[in-house]
Chains A and B, each alone.
Chain A
Amino acid sequence: MAEHSYEFILALGVLSPLVSFWLLVFFGPRLGKPLAGWTGVFLGMGVPLACATYVLVGWLDAVETGEAAALTASAFRWHWANIGSVPVTIGVKLDSLTVAMYFMVTFIAFWIFFFSVGYMAGHSDEVDHQSKYHRFFAYLSLFGFSMLGLVVSSSLLFLFIFWELVGLCSYLLIGFYFDRQYASRAAMKAFITNRVGDFGFLIGLMLVFLHLGTLDLDEAARKFAQQYAAGTGLFASTYTLFGWSLATIMGVGLFCGAMGKSAQFPLHVWLPDAMAGPTPVSALIHAATMVAAGVYLVARVFRLMTPDALMFIATIGCLTLFLMALIAIVQTDIKKCLAYSTLSQLGYMIFGMGCGAWIAALFHLITHAFFKAMLFLGSGQVIEGCHHEQDMRKMGGLIRKMPVTGFTFLIGVLAIAGFGIPGTHFGLGGFFSKDEILAVAYARAFEWNEFKKHEVHKTSPTHSGGHALFEPGAPATGGVAMATAPRVHEVEAGVDFLLVSDPVPAAKPPRHGEFGKAAIFKNTKPLPNWMFYLALVTAYVTPFYMMRCWWMTFMGRPRDEHVHHHAHESALMYIPLLVLAAGTFVSSYFLFRPLIADAAVAATAAPMVQATDGTADTEAIHAAHHWLMYGVGGAFVVGFFFALVIYARGLAIAGAIKRTFWPVHALLEHKYFFDEVYDFLWVNGCLVVAKISRFIDTWFVDLVFNILASATERLAAFSGLILDQHGVDGIVNGVADTSLMVSDVVRGPQTGRIRNYVLFAAGVAAILLITMIVWYAAPSMATATPSGGSI
């Protein structure tokens, strides 16, 4: 294995979609209808998928032989420029999380690109009476470039650049049918809402830049740890805002970016509207990959987080997961229903991050990506098959018309609902990942004191067995030891935090009811109980609305003959469904969780986090976990049961419930009136401010200008009429008139006759002579005649 070859292969995979984008932009129209699409599929995502697969295979090997940590440490960095004294480097963040995310993104994106070819074949690609077919795949390729760039970025600056690029792609793709007003508005809404979050991100970034003096992720984490230990830099500041220290503000600021992109509670409003985009876009960007970027960001900057920041993150995540799940219950649009489910699941991931369930949250991210992409593609197939009908109330009984779609959709529903048998290895994605988050949340809420007591003293530098990925005790633990050593020092120095780590030997598939690596903080409050309860209740709500969605669409009697009659499915579109269904199974068991667990060791090595193996579980905790295990694991049974009770026989019961609880229904139907409130506060607020500004402008600013203008006008009139016409012009005209008058007079004697001139000359000479004689000569002649006579 040549040095740095993984980085270069990953970078090649990043650049390939850019080439595809370039080709499609400039030569797209010439490639024509299916060819432009296939270019996008194979060059835009096929090559990256090949790169990802190659790297994944090699990387698994490297992890097993223990070379991975060394490869991570020696990953290529190119010093690009300096901003002031802060170096900016370009490089690939090479660790298990990157490899896992990269593979997940390329795999899902490839099949969604593939699906898009089938989808666009049946959809209008005309916008403004011009084919935009190539443009669709160009945007998808650009998205591929941006998303993969985001995943591999080793520097926060480049992460931010790619972050904005995926936001741009999201905007372009939501507004793909920009001649439809709702689409262009949704695109703007998404873009603007994301800007709000990115503003916070930028603040966080600036704090990193200013106080940590670096933008490299690893370097920033190292400096953060140093400053924490020494009490310098960020930690020397006594500045607080809402009781948050500067370090917390930095963490919260970075999280604000995630709030925008991952559509968390106050900024969630854009995601449901983003469903205006073509369905493959919803599947790829607004369900599987881009919206998960927020969670990825939090995972990447986890080492810069403080307990307060994480508590904020947990609160936001908790509110999102609960509130959005309730809205999903009343949605009738199949895509909107999935959108709210996505919001709720993103809430789970963010909540998990906030609890410190780093592994569980990312595991949930990846399992969710697979089944949610599949669900969205399924919904795309349904919408396509039913002639663009999205209202589930008009569907029903479609399973006979589109069996592949129906069954793969069911797999997705089971996965998201957390289907499995509690306490065993049997279950689908959400069963393990969501329940792991809940287990950690439970530990944070109720067992925190127990852990604190037991774990702190057990930690020692030699203790690292629980982290070994495939072979406990293998050289792979070198990285762990490195990460552990400084922490021990901090334990002795009275460190504030500790970490409950993965008790599951990662080589095995996860067993239900165990919980993963969790950061637990010594000197902070435990997680409020209500957060755990909300998350728990939502675990019951999720299967309910998903089963409702599936049943309304595929089961029961057809409610609209027209729709049902036309329903069909096409192979080009259901092949990706089958592949992603398989991916859902695989991602639930193998590959991803061990990889993430491997990355967790280094990626959560925050100065405030104390790693242990969590074997200190007390009897009481075990007992508690027992009911938790069944309570959470069995949630899907309860949810499915109620969904079937209500919807199995059509919509009558649901209608009755709706009428009975109409205020609740109205509240949910209107999404807690968030849009209205935002409209009132921000849109109207802006308008009011605009009107006030206009008033000030008209009556103050304009007034001054009007006075100035009229003064100028008067001055101009004065200077024009009085000064210019009578003054300046008067002088000039006067001179002219005078000249004319004088010339009239003077012209008289000028006869042109030479005789006259001679006469004048002679006459004048005579007059002069006589004058001289009279004035000079005469007196002298009178007195000096004698002398004159002597001549």
Chain B
Amino acid sequence: MAIGLTHYLVIAAVLFAGGLFTMMTKRNAIGILIGVELVLNSANVNLVAFDRYLGPGRIDGQITAIFVIVLAAAEAALAVGICINVYKNLATVDVDRAAQLQG
């Protein structure tokens, strides 16, 4: 069976669903971050797959995927920093407990 675009899209959808589910269910901030990474990477899979199948000879999708990876790295660095500070202050990374700013 030839591997087509649909297969990539299915894998990306599975990854997306998994990331989304992780974000919805985890109370641990790190867990949520992992969920976010999954969602971002599912998008990357889509980008690369569309680039490969719909625009052969062009690298737009691949460049965008690299951008996303860079952004994801930056976002991860920032988010982990926030997590460390939250932990320092609250001795936990449970996002439900970090509700001091809630009105």
- Give A residues with C-beta under 8 Å from B: 752-755, 758-759, 762, 791
Which residues of B from 21 to 80 have beta carbons under 8 Å from A? 23-27, 32, 53
The reply on B89 being an interface residue by CB < 8 A is no
Which residues on B sit within 8 Å (CB–CB) of A752? 99, 102
Which residues on A sit within 8 Å (CB–CB) of B26? 755
Which residues of B from 78 to 103 have beta carbons under 8 Å from A? 95-96, 99, 102
- A130-B79 Cα distance, complex, nearest whole Å: 95
B75, chain A: closest CB distance, angstroms: 15
Contact B99 A755 (CB under 8 A): no
Which residues on A sit within 8 Å (CB–CB) of B32? 754
Name B95's contact: one of A753, A759, A791 (CB within 8 Å): A753
Name B5's contact: one of A753, A758, A762, A791 (CB within 8 Å): A791
Contact B95 A758 (CB under 8 A): no
Name A755's contact: one of B5, B23, B53, B102 (CB within 8 Å): B23
- A753-B20 Cα distance, complex, nearest whole Å: 15
Which residues on B sit within 8 Å (CB–CB) of A753? 95-96
Which residues on A sit within 8 Å (CB–CB) of B27? 755
- A759-B35 Cα distance, complex, nearest whole Å: 13
Q: List 17 A-B contacts (CB under 8 A).
A: A752-B99, A752-B102, A753-B96, A754-B32, A754-B95, A755-B23, A755-B24, A755-B25, A755-B26, A755-B27, A755-B95, A758-B20, A758-B23, A758-B24, A762-B20, A762-B24, A791-B53
Q: Which residue of A lies closest to B32 (CB)?
A: A754
Which residues on B sit within 8 Å (CB–CB) of A762? 20, 24
Which residues on A sit within 8 Å (CB–CB) of B96? 753
Which residues on B sit within 8 Å (CB–CB) of A755? 23-27, 95
Contact B102 A759 (CB under 8 A): no
Which residues on A sit within 8 Å (CB–CB) of B53? 791
B70, chain A: closest CB distance, angstroms: 23
Which residues on B sit within 8 Å (CB–CB) of A759? 24
- Give B residues with C-beta under 8 Å from A: 5, 20, 23-27, 32, 53, 95-96, 99, 102
- A759-B95 Cα distance, complex, nearest whole Å: 15
- A791-B27 Cα distance, complex, nearest whole Å: 40
- A791-B7 Cα distance, complex, nearest whole Å: 12
- A195-B89 Cα distance, complex, nearest whole Å: 97
A781, chain B: closest CB distance, angstroms: 14
- A753-B32 Cα distance, complex, nearest whole Å: 12
Which residues on B sit within 8 Å (CB–CB) of A791? 5, 53
- A390-B31 Cα distance, complex, nearest whole Å: 125
Beyond A755-B26, A755-B95, list 14 extra A-B contacts (CB 8 Å): A752-B99, A753-B95, A753-B96, A754-B23, A754-B32, A754-B95, A755-B23, A755-B24, A755-B25, A758-B20, A758-B23, A762-B20, A762-B24, A791-B5
Q: Which residue of A lies closest to B16 (CB)?
A: A762
Q: Which residue of A lies closest to B27 (CB)?
A: A755
Which residues on B sit within 8 Å (CB–CB) of A754? 23, 32, 95
Which residues on B sit within 8 Å (CB–CB) of A758? 20, 23-24
- A487-B84 Cα distance, complex, nearest whole Å: 129
- A446-B32 Cα distance, complex, nearest whole Å: 142
- A486-B86 Cα distance, complex, nearest whole Å: 125
A685, chain B: closest CB distance, angstroms: 84
Q: Which residue of A lies closest to B29 (CB)?
A: A754
- A758-B95 Cα distance, complex, nearest whole Å: 13
3 tightest Cβ-Cβ pairs between the two chains A and B: A752-B102, A758-B23, A755-B24
Which residues on A sit within 8 Å (CB–CB) of B5? 791
A219, chain B: closest CB distance, angstroms: 97
Which residues on A sit within 8 Å (CB–CB) of B95? 753-755
Which residues on A sit within 8 Å (CB–CB) of B23? 754-755, 758
- A759-B22 Cα distance, complex, nearest whole Å: 11
Listed residue (A752, A758, A762) with the most chain B CB atoms within 10 angstroms of its CB: A758
- A752-B103 Cα distance, complex, nearest whole Å: 9
- A753-B25 Cα distance, complex, nearest whole Å: 11
Which residues on A sit within 8 Å (CB–CB) of B99? 752
A216, chain B: closest CB distance, angstroms: 95
- A758-B20 Cα distance, complex, nearest whole Å: 8
Q: Which residue of B lies closest to A791 (CB)?
A: B5
- A649-B102 Cα distance, complex, nearest whole Å: 123
Q: Which residue of A lies closest to B5 (CB)?
A: A791
- A753-B95 Cα distance, complex, nearest whole Å: 8
B72, chain A: closest CB distance, angstroms: 17
Q: Which residue of A lies closest to B20 (CB)?
A: A762
A753, chain B: closest CB distance, angstroms: 6
A748, chain B: closest CB distance, angstroms: 14
- A186-B24 Cα distance, complex, nearest whole Å: 108
Q: Which residue of B lies closest to A762 (CB)?
A: B20
Q: Which residue of B lies closest to A752 (CB)?
A: B102
B45, chain A: closest CB distance, angstroms: 17
Q: Which residue of B lies closest to A755 (CB)?
A: B24
B95, chain A: closest CB distance, angstroms: 5
- A755-B26 Cα distance, complex, nearest whole Å: 8
- A755-B23 Cα distance, complex, nearest whole Å: 6
- A276-B53 Cα distance, complex, nearest whole Å: 130
- A755-B27 Cα distance, complex, nearest whole Å: 8
- A754-B32 Cα distance, complex, nearest whole Å: 9
Q: Which residue of A lies closest to B103 (CB)?
A: A752
Q: Which residue of B lies closest to A747 (CB)?
A: B103
Q: Which residue of A lies closest to B95 (CB)?
A: A754
B6, chain A: closest CB distance, angstroms: 8
- A762-B24 Cα distance, complex, nearest whole Å: 9
A731, chain B: closest CB distance, angstroms: 28
- A758-B16 Cα distance, complex, nearest whole Å: 13
- A753-B29 Cα distance, complex, nearest whole Å: 12
Q: Which residue of A lies closest to B4 (CB)?
A: A791
Q: Which residue of B lies closest to A753 (CB)?
A: B96
- A755-B21 Cα distance, complex, nearest whole Å: 10
- A752-B99 Cα distance, complex, nearest whole Å: 7
Q: Which residue of A lies closest to B6 (CB)?
A: A791
B83, chain A: closest CB distance, angstroms: 13
Q: Which residue of A lies closest to B99 (CB)?
A: A752
Q: Which residue of B lies closest to A756 (CB)?
A: B24
B103, chain A: closest CB distance, angstroms: 8
B74, chain A: closest CB distance, angstroms: 20
Which residues on A sit within 8 Å (CB–CB) of B24? 755, 758-759, 762
B98, chain A: closest CB distance, angstroms: 9
Listed residue (B26, B53, B96) with the most chain A CB atoms within 10 angstroms of its CB: B96
B25, chain A: closest CB distance, angstroms: 7
B12, chain A: closest CB distance, angstroms: 14
- A791-B25 Cα distance, complex, nearest whole Å: 35
- A791-B54 Cα distance, complex, nearest whole Å: 9
Which residues on A sit within 8 Å (CB–CB) of B20? 758, 762
- A752-B53 Cα distance, complex, nearest whole Å: 41
Listed residue (A753, A754, A759, A791) with the most chain B CB atoms within 10 angstroms of its CB: A754
B40, chain A: closest CB distance, angstroms: 14
B3, chain A: closest CB distance, angstroms: 14
- A791-B95 Cα distance, complex, nearest whole Å: 43
B87, chain A: closest CB distance, angstroms: 16
Listed residue (B5, B24, B27, B96) with the most chain A CB atoms within 10 angstroms of its CB: B24
- A752-B102 Cα distance, complex, nearest whole Å: 6
A757, chain B: closest CB distance, angstroms: 10
B89, chain A: closest CB distance, angstroms: 17
Which residues on A sit within 8 Å (CB–CB) of B102? 752
B34, chain A: closest CB distance, angstroms: 14
- A754-B95 Cα distance, complex, nearest whole Å: 8
B43, chain A: closest CB distance, angstroms: 13
A768, chain B: closest CB distance, angstroms: 15
Q: Which residue of B lies closest to A766 (CB)?
A: B20
- A759-B21 Cα distance, complex, nearest whole Å: 9
Which residues on A sit within 8 Å (CB–CB) of B25? 755
- A755-B102 Cα distance, complex, nearest whole Å: 15
B79, chain A: closest CB distance, angstroms: 12
- A120-B96 Cα distance, complex, nearest whole Å: 106
